[in-house]
């Protein structure tokens, strides 16, 4: 997994609540057996004017000029600013894969759906919960200022705005540790092989039908 330490990135605003994982990556792209290559189809139905299917040459497709991520000023954005309940719906990890492959490294929103939130951390993508009032301020700032960037410091748990405002945020100690160091969960868990085996033996002795 990619490490996440410091990020000074361009911000793109996606101003709608309840953005679901079907919208982030539509179902037809879930047929891939790979983990990569989903970026060109992130937000496919909003981003293009035609219907997308796997295997198409996306560079030749008509883009929707009204979709915010297609605006020239947001090209190269690494931070997605979003609204409530971002990532609701399906558990598809293809959603964070698509966002990460598109180029995002962090998402700031008032709230996230649980499974999506969890999936982000497995892919070097930092989801940050910030209260709705602060998110509202950031929406106004990003829309008012072309080239608006935020500086995210995971170690310090802060977001620095260009006007000098610093927004602190919360993050789980374990998830922070994994992201800062780019650690693979499985390797960490396997350090506890003996405990797992001992638990399993007790568990199955007590419930032999399992």
Partner 1 sequence: MSAQTLYDKLWNSHVVRQDEDGTALIYIDRQLVHEVTSPQAFEGLRLAHRRPWRIASMLAVPDHNVPTTNRSAGIADPVSRIQVETLDANCAEFGVTEFKMNDIRQGIVHVIGPEQGATLPGMTVVCGDSHTSTHGAFAALAHGIGTSEVEHVMATQCLVAKKSKSMEVRVEGILGHGVTAKDIALAVIGKIGTAGGTGYAIEFAGSAIRALSMEGRMTLCNMAIEAGARAGMIAVDDTTLDYLKGRPFAPQGDLWDKAVVQWRNLHSDQGAAFDAGVLLDAAEIRPQVTWGTSPEMVVAVDGCVPDPATLSADKREGAERALIYMGLSANTPITDIKIDKVFIGSCTNARIEDMRAAAAVIKGGKVTVKQAMVVPGSGLVKRQAEQEGLDRIFTDAGFEWREPGCSMCLAMNDDKLAAGERCASTSNRNFEGRQGQGGRTHLVSPEMAAAAAIAGHFVDVSKL
Q: Which residues bind partner 1 (CB under 8 A)?
A: 16-18, 20, 22-23, 26-28, 30-35, 45, 51, 54-55, 84-85, 88-93, 96, 111-115, 118-119, 122-123, 172-174, 185-186, 188-190, 192, 195-196, 199-200, 203, 207-210
Instruction: Give min distance, CB of 160 to partner 1, in A.
Output: 26
9/96 with CB nearer partner 1: 96
Residue with tokens 């047929």: 31
Q: And the tokens for 167?
A: 């927004």
Quick one: 9 or 87, whose CB is closer to partner 1?
87
Nearer to partner 1, 30 or 151 (CB): 30
Distant-in-sequence, close-in-space partners of 62: CB < 8 Å, separation ≥ 6 = 48, 49, 50
List of E strands, the chain: 6-13, 79-81, 106-109, 126-129, 149-153, 158-160, 166-168
Q: How far is the CB of 157 from partner 1 (least distance, A)?
A: 14
Q: How, if at all, do strands 166-168 and 149-153 pair? A: unpaired
Q: In the bound complex, what is the minimum distance in angstroms from residue 147's beta carbon to partner 1? A: 27
Q: Which two tokens stand for residue 138?
A: 């950031």
10 vs 82 by CB, closer to partner 1: 82
Q: Is the CB of 27 or the CB of 140 nearer to partner 1? A: 27
Q: Report d(CA 129, CA 109) in Å as an integer.
A: 5
Distance in Å, CB of 65 to partner 1, minimum: 18
Residue 26 makes CB contacts below 8 A (sequence gap 6+) with 41, 44, 45, 52
């Amino acid at each position: 997994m990619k490490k996440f330490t410091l990020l000074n990135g361009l911000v793109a605003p996606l101003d709608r609540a309840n953005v679901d994982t079907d919208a982030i990556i539509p179902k037809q792209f879930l047929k891939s057996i790979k983990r990569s290559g989903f970026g060109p189809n992130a937000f496919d139905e909003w981003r293009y004017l035609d219907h997308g299917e796997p295997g198409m040459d996306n560079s030749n497709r008509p883009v929707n000029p009204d979709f915010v991520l297609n605006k020239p000023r947001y090209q190269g954005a690494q931070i997605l600013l979003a609204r409530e309940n971002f990532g609701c719906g399906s558990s598809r990890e293809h959603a964070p894969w698509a966002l990460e492959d598109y180029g995002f490294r962090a998402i700031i929103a008032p709230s996230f759906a649980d499974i999506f939130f969890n999936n982000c951390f497995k892919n070097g993508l930092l989801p940050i919960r910030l209260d709705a009032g602060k998110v509202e301020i950031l929406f106004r700032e990003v829309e008012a200022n072309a080239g608006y960037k935020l500086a995210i410091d995971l170690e310090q748990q802060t977001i620095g705005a260009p006007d000098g405002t610093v927004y602190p945020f919360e993050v789980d100690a374990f998830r922070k540790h994994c992201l800062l160091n780019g650690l693979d969960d499985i390797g960490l868990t396997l350090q506890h092989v003996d405990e797992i085996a001992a638990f399993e033996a007790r568990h199955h002795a007590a419930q032999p039908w399992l």
